[in-house]
Homo-oligomer: A and B are copies of this chain.
Amino acid sequence: MSRSKQGNMLIAQSGGPSMVINQSLVGAVLEAGKHACVRRIFGSLHGIRGILEEKLVDLRRESAANLEAVAATPSSALGTVRRKPSPEDCARIFEVLRKYDVRYFFYIGGNDSAETAHIISEAARQAAYPMRCFHIPKTIDNDLRENDHTPGFGSAARFVAQAVMGDDLDNRALPGVKIDVIMGRHAGFLTAASALARVAPGDGPHLVYCPERPFSMDGFVRDVQAVYKRLGRCVVAVSEGIADENGEAVATKFSREVDSHGNVQLSGSGALGDLLAAEIKARAGISRVRADTFGYLQRSFPGCISEVDAREARAVGAAAVRAACGGDADGSIVIRRLPGGRYRVRYERVPLRKVARDTRSMPASYINKEGNNVTRAFLDYARPLVGRLPRPGRLKAVPVKTA
């Protein structure tokens, strides 16, 4: 395809929503407006389902003001889907893309969405159908390969850090054991981000369990007992994806619901938190034990957005359109962090296969030896991504001498 071949563009959103996925949508749409090669701009409703069912909307009919309002709104404005295209789907998708003269295809999502984009890209190549096909990164799990971090993570991490900060204040006021279950199937980044809540010594979370390390119930009970003995309270951050030594997720003992990518449902249930709380009550001899599962608020709560995250989410959308209009290769846009003291990033195109399917998890250096906390290296990594957090006020609390 020549560099400036004219044609229509289609964009869609896929996988779990995030707080800034609409920034990427709007970034791409606004950028496309600057390129003569893009004629019409179609949005497909609910990812590839909208293509299969020809449910497309005309994104050139949206005002700039409305696009900005949408960009600032959590969740996927076009709707989303969890669906891997079958060979039949692929054939049908092509039929529709041809029919609408789509030459620029953008799919915003995580690794499964990158895989879908890759499948469509390969099919287009084999069909000798000239079409630029780009994946735009999004995942609160932060588990896309090649990326320093992914759009969506910073805002979700901000929510988690603020939530655990509040929860720690609550637990300090009314002591006991508090267990917070945090999203993240295989990658512990979001759970680890809870540690950003700490401001002063003694602040929770006191224990952090990521899915990268095998979870032992005995070790967990011992850890909680030790903290409780020392502080008279204990705040625990635990990933929904924690698994035992055989790799079996502790939560799957309660749920067997799977999506078409083969992922077992972990979120939308309080079972894991309740199980862990019951173990502590029964075995650690501690009476006040509570568990909260943060659930979907982590990816959808309005009014808790990381500015850096919002800015980068918009930038990757724009970068994908620039790359598609200016080059002759398909790909995914990745975020690289530049070396040096000040936080700066660069956006880069990589081949789709490099981010599709497989995910990454936390580097070993981000988790302590005991597997129950994060390291300074993680905190340094994560801090610039969430922005400045609220700083809790505390009483000096000067004791009164006995009268």
Contact = CB atoms under 8 A, between A and B. Distances in A.
Contacts of A399: 55-58
Contact of A393 (B42, B61, B66): B66
A270 interface: yes
Given A56-B400, A79-B172, A172-B79, A303 B73 contact: no
A122 interface: no
A271 interface: yes
By size class, the interface of chain A is 35 or more
A402 interface: yes
Given A70-B395, A402-B54, A162 B61 contact: no
B69 A301 contact: no
Interface centre among A81, A287, A302 (most CB of B within 10 A): A302
A100 interface: yes
A310 to B, nearest CB: 13
Given A75-B169, A267-B290, A396 B300 contact: no
Interface string A383-403: 000000011111111111011
B292 A296 contact: yes
Nearest to A391: B69
A61 B257 CA distance: 57
A303 B303 CA distance: 9
A7 interface: no
Nearest to A393: B69
B392 A61 contact: no
Contact of A77 (B17, B57, B66, B393): B393
A78 interface: yes
A274 interface: yes
Given A174-B16, A270-B269, A296 B396 contact: no
Interface of A: 13, 16-17, 22, 40, 42-43, 45-46, 54-59, 61-63, 66-82, 99-101, 162-163, 165-167, 169-170, 172-174, 178, 257, 267-271, 273-274, 277, 287, 289-297, 299-304, 390-400, 402-403
